[in-house]
Amino acid sequence: MTNWLIASNNLYKTADLQLALAYYGLSAASYQTLMAPVAFPEEGVTSYQDNATAKVKYLAALVPDTGVIADDSGLTLAALGQSALGVTTKRTLHAQSNLSDNQAILAALAGQSDRRATMWCTLVAVTPHGRLTTATGTVSGYIAPAPVGDQSTGFDRIFTLALGGPTLAELSDKTRIPLTHRGRAAKQLVASLTQEGD
């Protein structure tokens, strides 16, 4: 059975992806359990899949006998248009260094009545034999007025599936994971890898 490493320097994303994959029966570890942090290729601005593929191939070249999984994900806000964040979500939000990501999103929606949002995730896995498998997941909902919840972190603290409903971070992992963009992509990826015998 393939041993899997996650190609990410984002500790939150790594932990969340580990939970999502484990929920569907696949065990994976941070690549940093084997080596010091590496500098992944600079991300592009047009494709989640291209960014995840670049990361997975880079790390796979360093650990040729191990399976590698990479994630690229983002957020779009209806009020700002599809091109406002998306593939460059983290980079755009991090440009506002005086605000956390969630604070920046809430500030961008200040005075906006349209709170609709979609989270996107693409996962790419490469086996020790070099075969690539891609999976995607999305979830649509709304941005809450303020961060709430401590069951998970990141955008989960401001993302609700229904207006006035609980944020994803208020839900237990068992309830939350199948509903998230990353959970849906993980389900698809594990199913594909299982079918392929990895």
| pLDDT single digits (tens) 36-55 | 999 999 999 999 999 999 99
- Catalytic positions, written as ranges: 72
pLDDT of residue 176: 98
Tokens of residue 88, six digits? 């460059």
Which of 145, 143, 165, 166 lies closest to 155 in space, CA to CA?
A: 143
**Calpha distance 38→74 (Å, rounded):** 22
Q: What is the dihedral of CA 78, 83, 84, 86, to 10 degrees?
A: 90
From the number of C-beta atoms within 10 Å of its C-beta (0-12, 13-18, 19+), residue 150 rates as exposed
pLDDT tens across 108-150, in order? 999 999 999 999 999 999 999 999 999 999 999 999 999 999 9
pLDDT of residue 79: 94
Which of 108, 140, 93, 106 lies closest to 121 in space, CA to CA?
A: 140
pTM across the whole model: 0.94
Which CATH fold would you assign to the domain 4-196? Maf protein (3.90.950)
